[in-house]
Amino acid sequence: MKFIDAKNLLIDKVKVIETEIVDVRECFNRVLAEDLIADKDVPQFNRSPLDGYCFNSEYTKNANENNPIYFDIIEEVPCGKVAINKIDKFETIKIMTGTKMPDGANCVIKYEDVELENGKLKLKTKLNENQNVILIGEDVKKGTILTKKGSIIDMGVIGIATSLGIKELKVYRKLKVGFISTGSELLELNEDWVDGKIYNSNRYIFDAIFKKQNLEYKYYGIAYDNIEMTKNLFYKSIEECDVVISTGGVSAGDYDLVDKALIELGFNIFVKGIEMKPGMACCFAEKNNKYILGLSGNPMSSVTTFYAVVLPAIKKMMGYKNFENKYFKVKLKNSFNKKINKLRFLRAKVEIEDGIAVATLNLDQGNIVIKSLIDCNGMIKVENVEEAKAGMSFDCMLI
């Protein structure tokens, strides 16, 4: 199956998960499940942006260097307090940053720009109405849609929500993802090395990926090359999770048991292999609106398939408004000296140089070369070229 068809088929099949109400302090990096609309103005009163003195601008219009005007200082208002007095003719009140503007005042001058003389304020400059005043609703107007449903809750959303006094937000619950490794050749880190075995690096690569994507996930262990063990781990994990991702056991070898286990568990396999490199070997299956997504055991193959094909569907399930991968043009800084017929994703380090996105390819693009992920933050989409040469531009997605 073509890459685009497999990706779109998976996206079309999955459904968005349920919502929950969460304390705003626990909402960072969650997905908003309804539009956030301001129920009040921010700020809710005119206030001063600086420490200084406030006036009625009408009585400052004749002030200049040659004609200073003197004002009586009738009050000093500390932060968090409200003035008792109303500004009248040739009166001023000393206020602090953030203080509510006293009645009758409509402009502010900072401390450094005035003089005091015989207990009075000496003003030598004209002030305009609303000069140095933060007006009601200047930050947010009541009724404004601040951010849309499906947006990621970042520090800005947290900040504006709390400035409105919002204590809780409606978000999509965290997607529950299970992870299973397959293969009798695998060792866990707490096991001593045995000749002929390899450590289960896929577990820890995906541990990092899931954390970065803010997924709630559980590791269910290794399904050794035994059909009953494989079935049991799939059955247990899919009962507890929305999606289960496995690595290994999806090729055509005698000990590749994922397909057989899924069929015996009553799953419908709807993707078996994708025309892309790395990541061709895979097996996607569904049952009762739950999904088991079997990826290759080769680390770079499984990572590539996850980002290029699986992640958009995962994000749709999580409630993302914009769940598709975002591609942008990058210019290669070095060449990949191999003919590329079918679709291939090349791992690279992407940087901005002189305002242009550039990519340095890792020249060892083998399916099992884990070190190629070091400093890798992009995957470059290449197909049907004799050689990906330095200076050429291709589509790239960040990972």
Q: Which amino acid is at 204?
A: Y
Helix (H, G, I), strand (E, B) or coil at 51: coil
Backbone φ and ψ of 91, nearest 5°? -125, 155
Note whether 362 and 348 are within 8 A (CB). yes
Burial bucket for residue 61 (CB in 10 Å: 0-12, 13-18, 19+): exposed
Q: How far apart are CA 235 and CA 241, in angstroms?
A: 10
Q: What is the pTM for the complete model shown?
A: 0.86
**Alpha-carbon distance 220 to 239, whole Å?**
12
- Counting Cβ atoms within 10 Å, is residue 288 exposed (0-12), middle (13-18) or buried (19+)? exposed
CA–CA dist 242, 16 (Å, integer): 11
Domains observed in the chain: 3-16+174-318 (3.40.980.10), 19-42+139-172 (3.90.105.10), 52-123 (2.170.190.11), 327-398 (2.40.340.10)
Contact 199, 187 (CB under 8 A): yes
Check: CB of residue 11 under 8 Å from CB of residue 135. no
Q: Could you list the pLDDT tens digit for every one of the 399 residues in the chain?
A: 999 999 999 999 999 999 999 999 999 999 999 999 999 998 999 999 999 999 999 999 999 999 999 999 999 999 889 999 999 999 999 999 999 999 999 999 999 999 999 999 999 999 999 999 999 999 899 999 999 999 999 999 999 999 899 999 999 999 999 999 999 999 999 999 899 999 999 999 999 999 999 999 999 999 998 999 999 999 999 999 999 999 999 987 766 799 999 999 999 999 999 999 999 999 999 999 999 999 999 999 999 999 999 999 999 999 999 999 999 999 999 999 888 888 999 999 999 999 999 999 987 877 777 888 888 999 999 998 988 999 999 999 999
